Structure 1
Amino acid sequence: MMKTLYLVRHGETLFNIQNKIQGWCDSPLTENGVAQAKKLGDFFKNISLDHAYSSTSERCCDTTELILQNRLGYQRVKALKEQNYGVFEGEPEYLSPKAPKDFETFFLPYGGESSNEVGQRMLKCLTKIMAKPDNNQVLAVSHSGACFNFLRMLQDPTEELAKGFPNGAIFVYHFDQGKFQLAKVIREF
């Protein structure tokens, strides 16, 4: 039986508009981020979700709660967190590498994670979640880098990356026989 995973990037945060590296540190949703999450809630109103999961970061938990509006509980999962950027956390984004390939090992000497570690962590976590017998229509709220690195574990992400992963983007995956297949990315939130 084919299952569906809705992997969502959290709503806009203060650090997003200040162009700061967020990673494992956190900043609150902006008014716009709250509005994005509420629009996501409208989108998911007509989808019968059976389980929901969120990164333990406040920005993801807040987004999840605004989407669900108490119609379903959710589980906080550390493995859905963003890449750890080490000492670069909270610093200006211009200090980050420019090319996705450079993220693979750039942050390791500074106490951070490699992008491959993040991708593997996400793949293991989401496979475990989707393999549960009663998880058929699942919401998981995570982060831009984590979503990108998960996609990178499955396919060449270049085409999708060029279109951008805005706050509130929904990655719709089909899950069948232990494998994920990207069905579409919804970006209009």
Structure 2
Amino acid sequence: MKKTLYLMRHGQTLFNARRKIQGASDSPLTEKGKQQAITAGTYFKDNQIKLTHAYSSTQERASDTLELMTQLPYTRLKGLKEWDFGTFEGESEDLNPPLTPEEETYGDFFVRFNGESDKDVQNRMNTTLLELMEQENHENVLAVSHGGACFMFLKKWEDLSKREAIRFDNGCILKFEYENQKFTFIEAINHNF
């Protein structure tokens, strides 16, 4: 039986607006971020999508986003948290290493700075979401996470080199179908902000 996963990036935060690296660190939602969350909630209502279960990262920006979207009870999971960027946390995004056109991620760059590798993040997200979707009665699941973590999960299941770039705006919802322990990417739902 096919199930649906809606994997969402949290709304804009103060660090996003100020172009600060925030992985394991946290900052509050901006007014724009709050509106992005409310708009995402409206998307589910307008499309008559009845969510059966909801989950968020343990980071406040994700749980705040979820609470603005729905009144559905939810569980916070460490497996959905953002990539840990080590000592780069809270610094300017200008300090991120440049990527060449053939590179899609930072690889293991942040490991030497007490952070995580891209594969660590990908494995953590994949394990967590597989476990969620294998649970009984999990037909339409919402999981609120983060840009880097969502990207690494998408990269696990979709060959990004064979398609146009996918926007990962704050508030973006990535829709996947799930069946036989496999995820199929359907679409990225971005609201124009």
**Contact 2:20 2:92 (C-alpha < 8 Å) held by counterparts:** yes
- Identity between Structure 1 and Structure 2 (%): 48
CA deviation map 1:108-146 (0-9, x unaligned): 000000011101100000000000011110000000000
Unaligned runs of 5+ in 1: none
Match of 2:5 in 1: 5
Q: 2:58 aligns with which of 53, 56, 59?
A: 56
Q: Could you tell which deviates more after superposition, 93-102 or 129-138? A: 93-102
Cα RMSD (Å) of the superposition?
Answer: 1.4
Which amino acid is 1:123 matched to?
N
Match of 2:68 in 1: 66
TM normalised by structure 2 equals 0.93
Output the CA distance in 2 between the equivalents of 1:126 and 1:108: 24
Output the CA distance in 2 between the equivalents of 1:67 and 1:37: 5
Note closer, same or farther for the CA distance 1:86–1:164 as it changes in structure 2 (3 Å cut).
same
**Contact 2:105 2:118 (C-alpha < 8 Å) held by counterparts:** no
Alignment of 1:67-106 (within 5 A): 67-68=69-70, 70=71, 72-99=72-99, 100-101=103-104, 103-106=106-109
Output the CA distance in 1 between the equivalents of 2:94 and 2:164: 18
Q: Could you tell which deviates more after superposition, 159-168 or 57-66? A: 159-168
Which amino acid is 1:57 matched to?
Q
TM normalised by structure 1 equals 0.95
Match of 2:49 in 1: 47
Which amino acid is 1:12 matched to?
Q
Unaligned runs of 5+ in 2: none
**Count of equivalent residues:** 187
Note closer, same or farther for the CA distance 1:152–1:11 as it changes in structure 2 (3 Å cut).
same
Q: CA deviation at 1:97?
A: 1.9
Note closer, same or farther for the CA distance 1:20–1:44 as it changes in structure 2 (3 Å cut).
same
